[in-house]
Amino acid sequence: MTQDELVRRQRERARLMAWLLGAFVVLLFLITVAKIGLNR
């Protein structure tokens, strides 16, 4: 594996992790809102 390939793969994974973390935060927010709605 070349250095370029290594960097490309790391960037790809970092970008994916960022998206997944963002989605997780949004999901947690929506779960909280739904739970509050259920407990009303």
Binding site for other proteins (CB under 8 A): 1, 6, 9-10, 12-13, 16, 27-28, 30-31, 33-35, 37-38
- Closer CB to other proteins, 10 or 22, in the complex: 10
By the 10 Å C-beta count (0-12 exposed, 13-18 middle, 19+ buried), 17 is classed as exposed
Reduced DSSP (H G I as helix, E B as strand, rest coil) percent helix, strand, coil of the chain, to 5: 90, 0, 10
Q: How near is the Cβ of 24 to other proteins at its closest, in Å?
A: 9
Q: How near is the Cβ of 38 to other proteins at its closest, in Å?
A: 7
